[in-house]
A and B are shown apart, each in its own frame.
Chain A
């Protein structure tokens, strides 16, 4: 069964029917937003059942659309958290990715600015590597991007999408060895992105990220994960009572090959490891439960079928 990431937008009225339907179809609700009279659901549902969901949602004035970024956690890497990069362009990009269903974390490097002086420390590198992919928001000058990219990519093993003012072809030419994605024409700027050409650039970032993540999905599909991250999220939400007291809007973040659980690693790691997914299969058997570099959270990386010999 292939699960397709979707967003559902509709009214509060009878939305519980949609929730029940998604669960009955074997899908998973990643996130639910209740905003005044509107409901926005980010969910994974079987590809074959999208038409059925659309048919049932129509009388409720609900809109279903595929959202390739649902169920992913993306690092938006800004060269610093100074006014030079915030709120534009970093926040604009991060916000736009969120509207497409991604969970984004903005990572401001301590010393990412400059040409000769740009650096990335171990903590920043480890945090970026906990994500599904990283979007690097670079500047306006070709020579700066060329000079600093080798430093900024060192030790990063998640796919990188580079954004900068030079056009896409120039970025491809100056970055060696190549990265996974390029978006040209979007460097450092100091105004809100609201004009049509600027929104088109943000759409280019979405499509580039979607392509990069599709390639990653295809690579994962060659050796499938022992358990779907969305299913593991459901199990943790049901079995670990402490998660209900987490005040964060997303207590369990779904990634493509794991989860970020917003509970203290020292207190809850063992409980998570011992949680049963099915009879005879605990989390310990199918996943690595690791300390996250982000606060004291728990990072779960699901092992592939070839390693565990288990598929639940």
Chain B
């Protein structure tokens, strides 16, 4: 966990804290989140009981747009996409099908897509987002925190925005406003919640 700028587990039970420190580092590593997380603070109080995880992610990879996958040319609404990067081809096709319908998306060969679109739409086509890495990151992050969190802590609140996240869970009903506690844990990392 040396690549994290801050990694602390806080608990009222010292043995439990050490165990959870090891457990959290294994889970974060196994889920490939070491390079993504910058800071994480985990607080567990088994007496209440409550589990709070707060953290900051590093600057994420940029979104994958149509122009990253292939070159787009258009003339009088006749659009041609020549594929250069096949890795994201399936996602590109799916996005085009969802947006324009399968009837409008023609694929005469493996590396070419032809479409007839409105001229204005054709001009903005190359800027359309195909893959947003933050979506899968959010899912991975929440899943790994669910795995770290003691089992049975089914009542939870979570949030992830602008590189900051928190995850609060308990087996009892949570306080309506968990933000003071979350802000307190962010402050321990030297951040504002």
Interface size class of B (residues with CB under 8 A): 20 to 34
Q: A115-B46, A140-B20, A190-B26 are in contact. Are A85 and B151 (CB under 8 A)?
A: yes
**Residue of B16, B26, B172 most packed against chain A (CB within 10 A):** B16
Closest B residue by C-beta to A139:
B150
Interface 9-residue window, one of A7-15, A141-149, A150-158:
A141-149
Query: Does A117 make an interface contact (CB < 8 A)?
Result: yes
Query: Does B116 make an interface contact (CB < 8 A)?
Result: no
Closest B residue by C-beta to A142:
B13
B174 shortest CB reach to chain A, Å: 14
Q: Mark A115-144, 1 if CB is under 8 A from B, else 0.
A: 111100000000000000000000111111
Closest A residue by C-beta to B44:
A141
Q: List 9 A-B contacts (CB under 8 A).
A: A82-B151, A84-B150, A114-B151, A117-B152, A141-B13, A141-B16, A189-B22, A189-B23, A190-B27
Q: Are B151 and A190 in contact (CB under 8 A)?
A: no
In the complex, number of A-B residue pairs with CB atoms less than 8 Å apart: 70
Question: Mostly helix, strand, loop or mixed at chain A's interface?
Answer: loop
Q: Mark A78-90, 1 if CB is under 8 A from B, else 0.
A: 0110111100000
Q: Are A191 and B20 in contact (CB under 8 A)?
A: no
Query: Does B171 make an interface contact (CB < 8 A)?
Result: yes
Give the chain A neighbours of B84 by CB distance below 8 A: none
Query: Does B15 make an interface contact (CB < 8 A)?
Result: yes
Query: Does A301 make an interface contact (CB < 8 A)?
Result: no
Q: Are A79 and B151 in contact (CB under 8 A)?
A: yes
Q: Mark B144-160, 1 if CB is under 8 A from A, else 0.
A: 00010011110000000
Q: Are B13 and A115 in contact (CB under 8 A)?
A: no
Query: Which residue numbers of A lie inside 8 Å of B, CB to CB?
Result: 79-80, 82-85, 113-118, 139-144, 165-167, 170, 187-191
| Bound-state Cα–Cα, A115 to B20, Å | 17
A276 shortest CB reach to chain B, Å: 51
Closest A residue by C-beta to B149:
A84
Query: Does B176 make an interface contact (CB < 8 A)?
Result: no
| Bound-state Cα–Cα, A166 to B13, Å | 10
When the two chains form the complex, which single residue of B19, B30, B171 contacts A115, counting CB atoms closer than 8 Å?
A: B171
Give the chain B neighbours of A191 by CB distance below 8 A: 22, 26
When the two chains form the complex, which single residue of A82, A165, A190 contacts B15, counting CB atoms closer than 8 Å?
A: A165
Identify which of residues 132-154 in chain B touch chain A, using a CB-to-CB cut-off of 8 Å: 147, 150-153
Q: A85-B151, A140-B16, A165-B16 are in contact. Are A116 and B23 (CB under 8 A)?
A: no
A186 shortest CB reach to chain B, Å: 10
| Bound-state Cα–Cα, A191 to B171, Å | 25
Q: A143-B13, A188-B19 are in contact. Are A117 and B26 (CB under 8 A)?
A: no
Query: Does B32 make an interface contact (CB < 8 A)?
Result: no
Q: Are B19 and A165 in contact (CB under 8 A)?
A: yes
Q: A165-B15, A189-B19, A189-B23 are in contact. Are A113 and B147 (CB under 8 A)?
A: no
Q: Are A115 and B152 in contact (CB under 8 A)?
A: yes
When the two chains form the complex, which single residue of B13, B15, B26, B152 contacts A113, counting CB atoms closer than 8 Å?
A: B152
Q: Are B152 and A143 in contact (CB under 8 A)?
A: no
| Bound-state Cα–Cα, A190 to B147, Å | 9
| Bound-state Cα–Cα, A96 to B110, Å | 53
When the two chains form the complex, which single residue of B19, B22, B30, B152 contacts A114, counting CB atoms closer than 8 Å?
A: B152
Closest A residue by C-beta to B153:
A114
Query: Does B162 make an interface contact (CB < 8 A)?
Result: no
Query: Does B109 make an interface contact (CB < 8 A)?
Result: no
Query: Does B47 make an interface contact (CB < 8 A)?
Result: yes
Q: Are B47 and A143 in contact (CB under 8 A)?
A: yes
Closest A residue by C-beta to B147:
A83
When the two chains form the complex, which single residue of A79, A84, A170 contacts B147, counting CB atoms closer than 8 Å?
A: A84
